[in-house]
Amino acid sequence: MIRTVNLSMKYGKFRAVHDLNLQIEAGSVFGFVGPNGAGKSTTMSILATLLAPTSGQAYVDGYDVIQNPEEVRRLIGYMPDFFGVYDNLTAVEYLDFYAGAYNIPVEKRETLIRDLLELVNLSMKADAYVDTLSRGMKQRLGLARCLIHDPKVLILDEPASGLDPRARIEMKEILKELKGMGKTILISSHILPELAEMCDHIGIIEQGQLIAMAPVDQIAAQVAGHRVLRVKLRSRAEDAQALVQDAKGVQSVTLEGKTDLLIAYTGDEEGQVALLSRLVSNGLPVLAFSEEAGNLEEVFLTVTKGVGS
Ligand X SMILES: Nc1ncnc2c1ncn2[C@@H]1O[C@H](COP(=O)(O)OP(=O)(O)OP(=O)(O)O)[C@@H](O)[C@H]1O
| Contact footprint for ligand X (CB under 6 A) | 11, 14, 16, 34, 36-42, 81, 190
Dist CA 262 CA 252 (whole Å):
8
Which residue number, 157 or 170, has a Cβ lying nearer to ligand X?
A: 157
Query: Measured from the CB of residue 200, what is the shortest distance to ligand X in angstroms?
Result: 21
SS3 2: strand
Which residue number, 8 or 41, has a Cβ lying nearer to ligand X?
A: 41
Torsion angle of the four alpha carbons 134, 137, 143, 149, in this order, in degrees rounded to the nearest 10: -110
According to DSSP H, which parts of 150-236 are helical? 165-180, 192-196, 219-224
Query: Measured from the CB of residue 203, what is the shortest distance to ligand X in angstroms?
Result: 12
Within 10 angstroms of residue 131's Cβ, the number of other Cβ atoms is 12
Query: Measured from the CB of residue 39, what is the shortest distance to ligand X in angstroms?
Result: 4
Which residue number, 42 or 184, has a Cβ lying nearer to ligand X?
A: 42
Query: Measured from the CB of residue 196, what is the shortest distance to ligand X in angstroms?
Result: 17
Dist CA 12 CA 54 (whole Å):
10
Name 286's Cβ contacts closer than 8 Å, sequence gap at least 6: 231, 232, 233, 234, 240, 276, 279, 280
Which residue number, 14 or 180, has a Cβ lying nearer to ligand X?
A: 14
Helix-strand-coil split of the chain, %, nearest 5: 40, 30, 35
Query: Measured from the CB of residue 27, what is the shortest distance to ligand X in angstroms?
Result: 25
Dist CA 56 CA 5 (whole Å):
6
Query: Measured from the CB of residue 159, what is the shortest distance to ligand X in angstroms?
Result: 12
Within 10 angstroms of residue 74's Cβ, the number of other Cβ atoms is 16
Query: Measured from the CB of residue 114, what is the shortest distance to ligand X in angstroms?
Result: 33
- Strands laid side by side in the 29-33 sheet: 76-79, 153-156, 184-189, 29-33, 201-206, 209-215
Which residue number, 242 or 307, has a Cβ lying nearer to ligand X?
A: 307
Which residue number, 16 or 130, has a Cβ lying nearer to ligand X?
A: 16
Which residue number, 10 or 172, has a Cβ lying nearer to ligand X?
A: 10
- Alpha carbon of residue 107 to chain centroid: 36
